[in-house]
């Protein structure tokens, strides 16, 4: 069950390691002006996951160039853009939201602390904004046969190979990672 996955500390450790690897790669590449990148992380208050998340998990990894002062924020598998809920919560709760009864929506609200209005807003985002995005227009041809858009993100989760929900969720979050930066996810 997805609520058990979101309660598993291994998920958060794994996602943090992926983000740290992305950040280390960005820092090693430096700025396009040739300047060194200095750490300029900023606080996030992620909702929907474990209540006892480590302080490191609440940081959005980011850098600032020592020369031109330009901000460099690497892609993330923990945060889905500027949303306050964790990316895994947005994906999993939205996947479960398709075709749900009132009772099931109440259960999702209880598990993740996500109000029905937010679930409905996410549903709209998957159905409208996501499918109209530049990102989706570029990557949708990777899926043959095409994904069933009416069941996004469940149809996306089901296309990634993995022995369990944890692996499929991580693959999905890696796939969506370009949406987490301003430049990549336009």
- Separation between Cα atoms, residue 16 and residue 156, nearest integer Å: 22
- Separation between Cα atoms, residue 9 and residue 19, nearest integer Å: 16
Q: Supply the pLDDT for residue 65.
A: 96
- Mean pLDDT along residues 151-175: 92
Q: How confident is the model at residue 100 (pLDDT cuts 50, 70, 90)?
A: low
The structure's pTM equals: 0.88
- Mean pLDDT along residues 1-28: 88
Name residues whose C-beta falls within 8 Å of residue 157's C-beta, 6 or more positions apart in sequence.
91, 95, 168, 169, 172
- Separation between Cα atoms, residue 149 and residue 8, nearest integer Å: 29
Q: Supply the pLDDT for residue 28.
A: 96
Q: Are strands 63-65 and 37-39 parallel, antiparallel or unpaired?
A: antiparallel
CB-side exposure of 100: number of CA atoms within 13 Å?
A: 19
pLDDT, one tens digit per residue, over 28-48 is 999 999 999 999 999 988 888
């Amino acid at each position: 069950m997805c609520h058990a996955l979101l309660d598993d500390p291994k998920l958060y450790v794994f996602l943090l390691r992926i983000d740290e690897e992305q950040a280390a790669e960005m820092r090693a590449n430096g700025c396009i002006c040739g300047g060194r990148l200095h750490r300029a992380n900023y606080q996030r208050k992620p909702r929907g996951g474990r209540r006892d998340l480590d302080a490191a998990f609440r940081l959005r990894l980011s850098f600032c160039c020592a020369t031109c002062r330009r901000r460099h924020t690497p892609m993330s598998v923990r945060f889905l853009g500027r949303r306050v809920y964790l990316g895994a919560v947005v994906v999993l709760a939205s996947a479960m939201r398709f075709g749900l009864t009132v009772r099931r929506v109440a259960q999702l609200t209880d598990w993740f602390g996500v109000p029905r209005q937010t679930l409905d807003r996410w549903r709209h985002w998957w159905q409208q904004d996501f499918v109209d995005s530049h990102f989706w227009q570029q990557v949708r041809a990777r899926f043959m046969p095409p994904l069933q858009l009416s069941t996004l993100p469940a149809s996306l989760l089901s296309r990634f190979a993995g022995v369990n929900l944890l692996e499929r969720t991580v693959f999905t979050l890696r796939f969506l990672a370009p949406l987490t930066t301003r430049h990549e996810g336009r």
